[in-house]
Amino acid sequence: MPELPEVEVVRAGLQPAVTDALVTGVEIFDERSLRRHAPAAGSFAERLVGRRILAAVRRGKFLWLPLDSGRAVVIHLGMSGQVLLRAPGAAPDRMLRIRLTLEHPTHGELWVNFVDQRIFGSMAVDTMGPTADGFSGGYSATSEADAAWQHRIPSQVAHIARDPIDPSFSASAFFAALARKKTGIKRALLDQNLISGIGNIYADEALFAARIHYEQPAASLSHAKATTLLAAVRTILQRALAEGGTSFDAQYVNVNGQSGYFAHSLEAYGRQGTPCSRCGTLLVREQFMNRGSHFCPRCQRLR
């Protein structure tokens, strides 16, 4: 599933193309990709056509496009969703589910294609409410720091915690929450109500970098160790962003259909049976929550 770096790459690609663009058309090719849109709120197309997009915003793995109506288009990529920018008249993308036609004041007309192989992703027009802490709803590169929509968040995203590269993320609150967690530290990192944007890949990489076993009880971490872990999470996420995210196949691409290259930099995830880069011990993979955990049994001992 796409994690924070992959979704941020999509957001950054969308930002210049959709900001200030007018939605002039909506085509629905598969109603299943609207499963999170509430019909009671009105037709998806009717809520969009004639509205102007104000920015592209992200919190954790969620992406949304605030509208001049006070609502927002919420985009969740699920396991295989893609948001692709296309010139009008381009050959249709395979597994195209939804298409938005935009008119941008500078770039002219363009298509925003939502493509999804497994149809676990979705688009929805959602209501917006004030953020619980009064800070901006999520990350956006816009210069409109005081715009009203900046301090609002879609109802479908309001329960999601801030991510570790969000300027408003509270490290002290995160450490306090960890101290109350009796679960293993990897489960805590995957809890999107505690810290968002981290999935299986980057959890394994951060725990490897911090030399922490994935089943180490979160509450047992010292403040120093928790600080080391948070620093590792941020470093890994920033490195992955710089390399365009992690792509193992054609599903994980940016808005231009290009793959990321962080898969070549992975130290633990998917490297079971190869030597640890620190001590030479063979890395192992153990079953974890219907997935797998990859770690070094020597460097990351359960203490």
What amino acid positions are annotated as catalytic residues? 2-3, 61, 291
What ranges make up the beta strands (E) of the chain?
A: 22-28, 57-59, 62-66, 72-76, 81-86, 96-104, 108-116, 122-126, 128-130, 152-154, 284-288, 291-295
Q: Which residue do the tokens 């079953």 mark?
A: 287
**What's the distance, CA 202 to chain centroid?**
12
φ and ψ at residue 278, rounded to 5 degrees: -95, -50
> In angstroms, how far is the first alpha carbon of the chain from the final one?
30
Q: Residue 298, SS3?
A: coil
Q: Give helix 171-180 / helix 223-242 axis angle, nearest 10°.
A: 120
Number of helices and strands (H, E) in the chain? 6, 12
